[in-house]
Amino acid sequence: MPLNIDIVQVLLHMLNFVILAGGLTLILFNPVRKFISERQKRIEDQAAENQKNAEEYIRLKEEYEARLRAFEEETATARLQAEKDAADIAKKYIDSSRAEAAAIIAKAEEDAEKRKEQILDSAQTEIGELVIGAAQKLLSETATPERTEELYDAFIKEAEKKTGRKEKRQ
């Protein structure tokens, strides 16, 4: 053959390469490619899961924010209502306290008036007794039957005057 071409050697070269290609494919290429594709799949799965988690996170966040907003609105409404209720209750208490205070004051004034009258009555009685005592003392010292009768008359007149003024006042 020209150019030193030898068919047998060409075939031997082919056989040699076929053995090499098969061996390299089975021993090295396929395992490495399998490893790469498995890792790729793992990474893609992980990325998909991350995406899913991110979406879930966003959904939960939105839900939480919505709930928070609703809760805040509810809280604000409740606070307003509570403030209104508190104001009503306070007003009621104040009104009832005022009424009670007014009643207490009125009763106290009434009691005070009664007490004053009692005091005045007792004072009049005491004064009368004192006056009688003093008069008795004076009479015992300077008493004559005429003078005694005169004094009694004067006292009775005076007592009648006072009793008449008191009845008028009542």
Partner 1 sequence: MKERKKPDKARRIFLIVWLAVIAVLIAAILIIGLPRKNDESLREVMRDGVLHESNKIALFGSTVNPGLISAFVVTGVLLVAALLIRLIAVPRFKTVPGKFQALLEKGVDLFSGMARNNSPHKTGFIAAYIFSAGTYIFFGTLFEMFGIQAVTTEGRSVALPAPLADINGALAMGFLTFAMILGAGLIVNGPKGFFRALKDFSLPISMSFRLFGALLSGLLVTELVYYSFALSFVLPALVGVVFTLLHAVIQAYVLTTLASIFYGEAVEPTTKERRGTKP
Rounded Cα gap, residues 6 and 54, in angstroms = 67
Comparison of 4 and 142: residue with beta carbon closer to partner 1: 4
Among 23, 128, 133, 164, binds partner 1 (CB under 8 A): 23
Contact 7, 1 (CB under 8 A): yes
Among 20, 60, 76, 131, binds partner 1 (CB under 8 A): 20
Residue whose CB is less far from partner 1, 32 or 103: 32
- Determine which residue in the list 14, 90, 119, 132 makes contact with partner 1, applying CB under 8 A: 14
Per residue, what are the HEC states of 78-93?
A: HHHHHHHHHHHHHHHH
Q: Within positions 40 to 79, which residues make up the interface with partner 1, using CB under 8 A?
A: 42
Beta strands per DSSP E along 8-100: none
Size of the site for partner 1 (CB under 8 A): 31
b/e map 53-86, b = 16+ CB within 10 Å: eeeeeeeeeeeeeeeeeeeeeeeeeeeeeeeeee
| Contact set for partner 1, span 27-46 (CB under 8 A) | 27-33, 35-36, 39, 42
31 is written with which tokens?
A: 């395992």
Query: Between 3 and 167, whose beta carbon lies closer to partner 1?
Result: 3
Binding site for partner 1 (CB under 8 A): 3-6, 8-14, 16-21, 23-25, 27-33, 35-36, 39, 42
